[in-house]
Structure 1
Amino acid sequence: MMSDLIYPTLDLFLYALKTSLNTTDAETQKKQAAFLEQLPSNTKFYDPDIETEYLEITHPPQINFVAHNKTLEGYYYAVRLNDTYGLQIDCSINNQTETQPANSFAILKTEIEQKLNKELAIIGKTWLLSGWLPENSSQNHEDIAKKCYYALFKDTPWQPDKGTFLDGKVFEVGRSQYINQSLKNVSTSLNSNEHHAIITIYNNRESAEKAAEFYKDWMGLFCYRSKISWAYWQSRLVKDSLLNHYKKIEENRKITNQSNYWQENQKITTSRQILNNIDRILQQYTIDLLNLSFQKQIIEINLSNYQLRLALMKEKAGQNNQLDFLEKFSELANKKYLPQITKDIENMQLGLQLLEDTINATRSRIEVEKSERERNFQELVAVAGAGIATVSLLQSPAKDFCSKESRKDIFEKIPYFCDYPFSSSLMVGIIVGFMVWWLRKRWR
């Protein structure tokens, strides 16, 4: 048949963070437990708390599994790469002599997915499809690769990047994982429809067996790729969060900038509540801005590791191999991801400065308003004090002046004063208070 391969093999490489920014010990243990759920229950697991570039964390490193389909065979291989767990699940047709149809990969995928705990939160995954052609085969490598691909992903376009590997042909599909997803539809589970696939069609068994020596290299390369894609996607989420914070602060700023806001005798407590709200949002904004810079650093570190690992693979494979197509991803990271995040950081830092200016302006206006109200209160106290003092001073003399002996003098000419001494004293106090207010205002 025109789509036959010998020993079709499917490998799933998936990655989950062991630790991340601000992860607690309890959260780290929970992530470790979730990763262990992918392995057989009797697995001997060893993960010391040390920093390591590549550590096999099970004994034995390769754990064979019993397939549901007896014609299949496979194994688990688990490692830790610094702060990330990596898991390879390998499954193949248990027959290395007879040809198998390309749609056998659908059977292999079903077997692998039955081994997975779909609750595991992952940062990326890659499917690696491989097999070799029968002797003297005239089949077209790309036609077979395309049929193998569609056995796994029926409704996705075939738009591969191409190269050569160990005298065979290699194809990569799914270069932009996460990037085309909506913010609302992002998935971090194994159920994600996003995919990245490498299909290798070898010319003979010897090449396929030699390719098995590159599994550790693929493990590292795919890990760095996944972390770069994940960090860029996280940066998009962080940017969206920053924009939301900025909008909230702008809403509060517009309230305080209304022309009648400070003229309507707003309560100081209300203004302070607005200021506290802006302060709280600004703290979250600052944390997100640091997180954005952190994602950039993740991309830079893993991009360097990706390029180094790819260079080592090229050297290991020899000069007759063409793996340059794998450099397109590093170009994407260099020309799109990093410049985009750098520009976002610059813009958001400018936004931070504007927000700080907004807070300072709001705080100044509150202090001015507070000082003005305190001054008005002092004016009231001074005027009221003058009036009350005048009333107090007049009451006692008024009684004496309005006695029968004194009424014969000038006070009998103003009987109202003697008939209503308190009211008269109060009127004089008000007049004195008004004079005090007028003089203070004039001298200010």
Structure 2
Amino acid sequence: MTQRIEYFRDEIPDEGYYYPVRLNDTYGLLIAASFPNNKTRHPTNSIAQLKNQIEAKLKDSSGKIQTGNLGQTWLVLAELANNKNPEEIAKQCCEKLNLGFDWEKDLQGQGKLLGGTIFELRQYGITMSKNMDFSPLVTPPTIEQIQKNNHLIISLYPNEQTAKKAAEFNFDLLRLLCYLHKIFWAYAQSRYLKELLKKSAIEIQQYIQEIQKYQNPSLNLKPLKEILVNSQTTLSNIMSG
């Protein structure tokens, strides 16, 4: 991309842009899509149209939707029609986005900003299999294989002025959310390393018990050599983890 911000070039009425940025050791990408600023009110079910447009931009050559390695956040920012209940509209937005969230279960809380109401939903969990192979010959799991991390923020504002003002924080929010996802990534990595060390500790104890059987020099030392070779593999696994 030759520009800091690159706008969509599609011949469609909706507007949107890419904003790639490097955040220290991490690359971030903000993709935004919106309806034209022509004062037209849109029902909540039209939000699916914008979601489809964003996902179309994230597809690779095979048609697969690419996701962030550390994580990603969906952000809905909108102006409310007169006298609309923010929570009811937020629930409808959550449903129409069809991201798999359960409002009652996944709602983390709500707050206020510039007179608007913000709702945050998250699904998080460690998803490591008990039968995961920790062998150094096996490629370590990706972050998607270790954790489930879905995040949604819905920001609803009483008028156009405050909605536009809130949108100015999107670029700062990108940096904040990057740090948030890195914290969850680090936690998932720590759980993976904990399981690696637990498994390695069991193997080390087994090697110690086997070695103790061969303290008599008159015994055949070939099995002892094999044990030491295998223990080197365990040590290598710990060091590489």
1:257, CA displacement in angstroms? 4.2
Equivalence for 2:128: 182
Matched residue type, 2:76: L
The alignment status of 1:132 with 2:75, answered yes or no, reads no
Pick from 63, 70, 78 the counterpart of residue 6 of structure 2: 63
Contact 1:66–1:73 (8 Å) recurs in 2 = no
- Equivalent residue runs for 1:267-282 within 5 Å: 267-282=220-235
The alignment status of 1:74 with 2:16, answered yes or no, reads yes
Deviations 1:296-343 (A, max 9, x none): xxxxxxxxxxxxxxxxxxxxxxxxxxxxxxxxxxxxxxxxxxxxxxxx
TM-score by length of 2: 0.81
Contact 1:67–1:111 (8 Å) recurs in 2 = no
Task: Give unpaired runs (5+ residues) of structure 2.
Answer: 133-140
Q: Structure 1's 121 and 168: CA in aligned 2 closer, same or farther, altered over 3 A?
A: closer
Q: Structure 1's 94 and 231: CA in aligned 2 closer, same or farther, altered over 3 A?
A: same
RMSD after superposition: 2.5
Q: Structure 1's 155 and 119: CA in aligned 2 closer, same or farther, altered over 3 A?
A: closer
Distance 2:96 2:67 in 1: 25
Distance 2:157 2:68 in 1: 34
Q: Structure 1's 193 and 245: CA in aligned 2 closer, same or farther, altered over 3 A?
A: closer
Matched residue type, 2:20: A
Q: Structure 1's 188 and 167: CA in aligned 2 closer, same or farther, altered over 3 A?
A: same
Contact 1:162–1:170 (8 Å) recurs in 2 = yes
Pick from 235, 238, 258 the counterpart of residue 193 of structure 2: 238
Pick from 85, 105, 113 the counterpart of residue 55 of structure 2: 113
1:188, CA displacement in angstroms? 4.4
Contact 1:121–1:188 (8 Å) recurs in 2 = no
1:201, CA displacement in angstroms? 0.4
1:262, CA displacement in angstroms? 5.5
Pick from 211, 219, 235 the counterpart of residue 174 of structure 2: 219
Distance 2:93 2:227 in 1: 60
Q: Structure 1's 154 and 274: CA in aligned 2 closer, same or farther, altered over 3 A?
A: closer
Equivalence for 1:11: none
1:87, CA displacement in angstroms? 0.3
Distance 1:187 1:147 in 2: 33
Percentage of matched positions with identical amino acids = 35
> What SS is found at the alignment partner of 1:100?
coil
Q: Which has the larger radius of gyration?
A: 1
Deviations 1:169-219 (A, max 9, x none): 001110x53x342346x7646xx9741011000000000111122112101
Equivalence for 2:116: 168
1:74, CA displacement in angstroms? 0.4
Higher mean alpha-carbon deviation, 242-251 vs 275-284, is at 275-284
1:152, CA displacement in angstroms? 1.5
Distance 1:165 1:148 in 2: 19
1:281, CA displacement in angstroms? 1.8
Contact 2:126–2:188 (8 Å) recurs in 1 = no
Contact 1:80–1:86 (8 Å) recurs in 2 = yes
Q: Structure 1's 126 and 231: CA in aligned 2 closer, same or farther, altered over 3 A?
A: same
Equivalence for 1:6: none
1:161, CA displacement in angstroms? 0.7
> What SS is found at the alignment partner of 2:169?
helix
Matched residue type, 2:114: L
Distance 1:245 1:145 in 2: 47
TM-score by length of 1: 0.46
The alignment status of 1:90 with 2:35, answered yes or no, reads no
Distance 2:109 2:51 in 1: 22
Q: Structure 1's 157 and 119: CA in aligned 2 closer, same or farther, altered over 3 A?
A: closer
1:110, CA displacement in angstroms? 0.9
Q: Structure 1's 216 and 95: CA in aligned 2 closer, same or farther, altered over 3 A?
A: closer
- Equivalent residue runs for 1:262-341 within 5 Å: 266-288=219-241
Matched residue type, 1:237: Y
Q: Structure 1's 213 and 194: CA in aligned 2 closer, same or farther, altered over 3 A?
A: same
Deviations 1:340-369 (A, max 9, x none): xxxxxxxxxxxxxxxxxxxxxxxxxxxxxx
Deviations 1:386-417 (A, max 9, x none): xxxxxxxxxxxxxxxxxxxxxxxxxxxxxxxx
Distance 2:66 2:164 in 1: 34
1:133, CA displacement in angstroms? 1.5
* Greater fraction helix: 1
> What SS is found at the alignment partner of 1:195?
strand
Task: Give unpaired runs (5+ residues) of structure 1.
Answer: 1-42, 45-58, 289-444
Distance 1:99 1:266 in 2: 87
Equivalence for 2:97: 152
Matched residue type, 1:250: Q
